[in-house]
């Protein structure tokens, strides 16, 4: 069924101005729209797809929601890789459910992005051509079973920190999608922690395998929250628009504070010599993040960037027959309905 997008703010949907109105009227009109938008921001009310919104707000949301959607579906790969090798039926069932959830998160988010007037095809093209970004964390490899547990514990744990505030985002469809996503993310975090706990109660070799995975993931996960606030010029605008609610550094601090006690319970060391409780700040201090490494991975030089993208492009091409079949079926249904109506 064709999806009808509410796009009243797009130039193509605006009535042609009559001669004489060209100068004065559009200005007064747009000032009124801007004021209504600003008032909604001040009152912390939601913007819905049919509401007018500034172009920059729309573009920022399309970029953020689509990057988020791309991250969800690319994020299926590092763990999907272990479905056929999970150590027990129970672990396999849990992992299957988790990876399917991530696919579902991608679908809600593409749908939320579509309400802003972009097509899913255009968003996927941008991903497949390498133009669009996704979270750099998924460009790291998963060589052992412990990586799967650590992704659940730390990567999904970081995702929750980042995503809970987005449930209060000013754009309604994004905020509502995040509520369900966050519920599922907390299951992801718990299953990862529980799997690691089981491994830590096992043999010395298992404990070593968990520690090795923690050593490899810890720093990239801290970088997941994005550049320090001082180097993140877009953040302030995102805050004013109610898209971003908590700054990168504050989220990172919350994550470190929550992770230290969990690491103690697990019995693993977090690989940071500078990590210590600061009585005055009432927070943990932590060491310096290697931002050069982060940017190298963002810009395509991570260990798995090429592999992840190639796998995604191939999956899309392999699924072409499904899309063709669905469209053919929809056309047939439509033709039948028209015939019945005639
Ligand atoms: Fe997810
Ligand atoms: Fe998740």
HEC assignment per residue over the chain? CCCCCCCCCCHHHCCCCCCCCCCHHHHHHHHHHHHHHHHHHHCCCCECCCCCCCHHHHHHHHHHHHHHHHHHHHCHHHHHCCHHHCCCHHHHHHHHHHHHHHHHHHHHHHHHHHCCCCCHHHHHHHHHCCCCCCCHHHHCCCCCHHHHHHHHHHHHHHHHHHHHHHHHCCEHHHHHHHHHHHHHHHHHHHHHHHHHHHHHCCCHHHHHHHHHHHHHHHHHHHHCCCCCHHHCHHHHHHHHCCCCCCCHHHHHHHHHHHHHHHHHHHCCCCCCCCCEEECCCCEEECCCCCHHHHHHHHHHHCCCHHHHHHHHHHHHHHCHHHHHHHHHHHHHHHHHHHHHHC
Rounded distance between C-alpha atoms, residue 287 and residue 266, angstroms? 21
CA of 186 to the centre of ligand 2 (A): 8
Residues whose Cβ atom is located within 5 A of ion ligand 1: 72, 102, 105
Average pLDDT on 301-329 reads: 96
Give residue-wise pLDDT tens across range 205-257.
999 999 999 999 999 999 999 999 888 877 888 888 888 889 999 999 999 99
pLDDT of residue 244: 87
pLDDT of residue 28: 67
Give residue-wise pLDDT tens across range 158-199.
999 999 999 999 999 999 999 999 999 999 999 999 999 999
Rounded distance between C-alpha atoms, residue 11 and residue 214, angstroms? 51
pLDDT of residue 3: 37
What does the buried/exposed string (b/e) look like for 299-328 if buried means 16 or more CB atoms within 10 Å of the residue's CB? eeebebbeebbebbeeeeeeeeeeeeeeee
Give residue-wise pLDDT tens across range 105-147.
999 999 999 999 999 999 999 999 999 999 999 999 999 999 9
Rounded distance between C-alpha atoms, residue 209 and residue 206, angstroms? 5
CA of 185 to the centre of ligand 1 (A): 6
CA of 277 to the centre of ligand 1 (A): 31
Of 182, 181, 183, 171, give the one whose Cα is nearest residue 104. Answer: 181
CA of 136 to the centre of ligand 1 (A): 14
pLDDT-derived band of residue 8, with 50, 70 and 90 as boundaries? very low
CB 131 within 8 A of CB 90: no
Kindly report the pTM of this predicted structure.
0.87
Write the CB contacts of 150 (distance below 8 Å, at least 6 apart in sequence): 192, 196, 210, 213, 214, 217
CA of 48 to the centre of ligand 1 (A): 23
pLDDT of residue 26: 54
CA of 112 to the centre of ligand 1 (A): 15
CA of 185 to the centre of ligand 2 (A): 5
Average pLDDT on 326-332 reads: 96
CA of 209 to the centre of ligand 1 (A): 25
Rounded distance between C-alpha atoms, residue 147 and residue 71, angstroms? 18
Counting ligands in written order, which one lies closest to the CA of residue 98?
A: 2
pLDDT of residue 245: 87
CA of 325 to the centre of ligand 1 (A): 28
The sign of the dihedral angle between the CA atoms of 323, 327, 329, 333 is positive
Give residue-wise pLDDT tens across range 29-44.
778 899 999 998 888 8
CA of 95 to the centre of ligand 1 (A): 13
Rounded distance between C-alpha atoms, residue 92 and residue 66, angstroms? 29
CA of 131 to the centre of ligand 2 (A): 24
CA angle (76 as vertex; 72, 77 as ends), nearest 5: 130
CA angle (175 as vertex; 125, 44 as ends), nearest 5: 125
Counting ligands in written order, which one lies closest to the CA of residue 106?
A: 1
């Amino acid at each position: 069924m064709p999806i009808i997008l509410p796009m009243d703010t797009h130039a193509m949907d605006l009535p042609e101005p009559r001669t004489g109105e060209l100068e004065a009227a559009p200005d007064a009109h747009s000032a009124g729209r801007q004021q209504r938008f600003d008032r909604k921001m001040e009152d912390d009310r939601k913007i819905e797809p049919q509401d007018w919104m500034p172009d920059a707000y729309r573009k920022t949301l399309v970029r953020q929601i689509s990057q988020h959607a791309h991250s969800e579906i690319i994020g299926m790969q590092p763990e999907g890789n272990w479905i056929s090798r999970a150590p027990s039926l129970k672990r396999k069932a849990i992992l299957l459910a988790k990876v399917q959830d991530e696919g579902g998160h991608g679908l809600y988010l593409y749908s939320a992005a579509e309400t802003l007037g972009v097509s899913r095809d255009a968003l996927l093209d941008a991903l497949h051509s390498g133009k669009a970004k996704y979270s750099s964390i998924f460009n790291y490899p998963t060589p052992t079973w412990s990586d799967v547990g650590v992704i659940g514990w730390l990567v999904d744990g970081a995702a929750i920190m980042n995503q809970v505030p987005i449930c209060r985002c000013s754009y309604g469809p994004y905020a509502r999608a995040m509520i369900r996503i966050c519920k599922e993310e907390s299951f992801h975090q718990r299953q990862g922690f529980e799997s690691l706990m089981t491994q830590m109660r096992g043999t010395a070799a298992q404990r070593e395998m968990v520690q090795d995975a923690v050593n490899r993931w810890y720093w990239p996960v801290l970088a997941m929250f994005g550049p320090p606030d001082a180097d993140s010029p877009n953040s302030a605008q995102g805050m004013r628009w109610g898209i971003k609610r908590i700054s990168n550094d504050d989220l990172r601090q919350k994550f470190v504070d929550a992770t230290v006690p969990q690491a103690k319970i697990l019995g693993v060391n977090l690989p940071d010599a500078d990590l210590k409780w600061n009585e005055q700040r009432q927070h943990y201090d932590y060491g310096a993040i290697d931002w050069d490494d982060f940017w190298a991975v963002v810009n395509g030089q991570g260990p798995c960037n090429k592999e992840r993208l190639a796998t995604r492009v191939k999956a899309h091409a392999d699924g072409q027959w499904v899309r063709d079949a669905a469209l053919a079926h929809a056309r047939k249904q439509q033709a039948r309905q028209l015939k019945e109506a005639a």
